[in-house]
Amino acid sequence: MLREGVININQGVLDIDGDFIIADGTAIDTAGEMYYVAADACIRMTDYRDKVIVNGDFITYGEDHSGCLTAGTLEIKGDFEQNGDPDSFNATGDHKTIFSGSGLQEIFFNNAYAAYSSGSDFSRLQIANKTGTIDFTTPVRVTSTLTQPGGAAVVGGENVTLQDQPAFEDRGAANAEINRYVGNAVNVVPTWMDCAAYDNQTGPVETPEPGLPTEQPEADGEYTVNDISVSGGEVTVNITRVSGEGGVAAAAAYAGDGTLIGVMFSDIETSEDTFDMTLSLNTEGAERIAAFVWNSIDGMMPISNIKEI
C-alpha cells in the first residue's frame, strides 16, 4: 500500500500481474495479484517512454490527478472504472490508453467530462483487442485521437465522443451480432483503418484513405527507414534515429492499381538508435508496401524517407 506521494514511472515500465486499484483512502492490504495505492497518491506519466501494463482491472477512487497523465502509455487488459474526484483520470497531451484484452472489457466513468464543467477523459484511446468486446457503459470523452486497429466488437458506441463529435457510426441493432458500431469516418479521421480490420462484415464499408505521404520529405528527416520485410501478415520495418524522439512508425499496403489495402502504425517508444518495428498488416494482394515515420498520429507529417518494396 502506498499511502501518499508519487509513483513516478520515470521512463520505465510498471507491469501489474492483476488488478491496479487506486483506493479511496481506506486501509486495504495488498494481497494476491492486486496492486493498491492510496487515493492521494499520483501515478505520474509525463514521458513518452513511460509505460504501465495492467493485466487485470484498472479502478480508481483517486483525488484530483490533473497534470499526472500527460504522456506515455497505459495498457489495460481488464475493465476500466473511474470514481472519486471528477478529475481522478484526467489524461491530456500525448498520454495514450490502450485496451488489449481478449474477452469482455467494460469502460465506466462516474465523472465523465460531458456531465461536468471539468472531469475525467481519455486523451488518446486505442482499442487494440483482436477478439472480444469493448463495452462503453457510460459517456466517454476522447479529446485527441481514437484508433481501432483490432477486431473487437464495440457495445455502447453511442456513449463515445471524439473532440465532442460522435465517435462511432451506429449501423443498427440488426448488425449487433457482427459489429453494430464502427468508426465514424466523418468525425473520427484517425480511424480510417477501423472497418477494414473486421473480417466479418457483411457488406462494403467506406474507409477514407489517410493522409499518406506521396513525396519524399527533406533529406534531413528525423528518422531513416532502412528496410522492410514481410512475413505471415506482419511487416517489420528497420529504422535508424537521426535526431528524432517519439514519432509514429507506419506501413501501408497497396494493390496494383494503387488502391490502399490497409495501413497500420505504432508509436516509437524505444531509445535505441537503430531498431525494428513490427506491424500487423494485411498484405494479401498487395503489390507495393511503403513504410515511413510520422511526427504524430494527429499531425501525420512524414519525418523520414519513404521506403518501398
Q: How far apart are CA 306 and CA 228, in angstroms?
A: 11
Nearest to 98, CA basis, from 139, 60, 51, 132: 51
CATH class of 223-308: mainly beta
Interval 73-94: pLDDT, tens: 999 999 999 988 888 899 998 8
Query: Mean pLDDT throughout 137-162?
Result: 82
Q: How far apart are CA 167 and CA 181, in angstroms?
A: 9
Nearest to 124, CA basis, from 191, 44, 200, 40: 191
- Whether the full predicted model's pTM is greater than 0.85, yes or no, is no
What does the block give as the cell for 183? 468508426
* Confidence label for 25 from pLDDT (cuts 50, 70 and 90): very low
Interval 37-86: pLDDT, tens: 665 667 788 888 888 899 999 998 888 888 889 988 999 999 999 988 88
* Confidence label for 114 from pLDDT (cuts 50, 70 and 90): low
Query: Mean pLDDT throughout 207-233?
Result: 67
Domain ranges of the chain: 6-197, 223-308
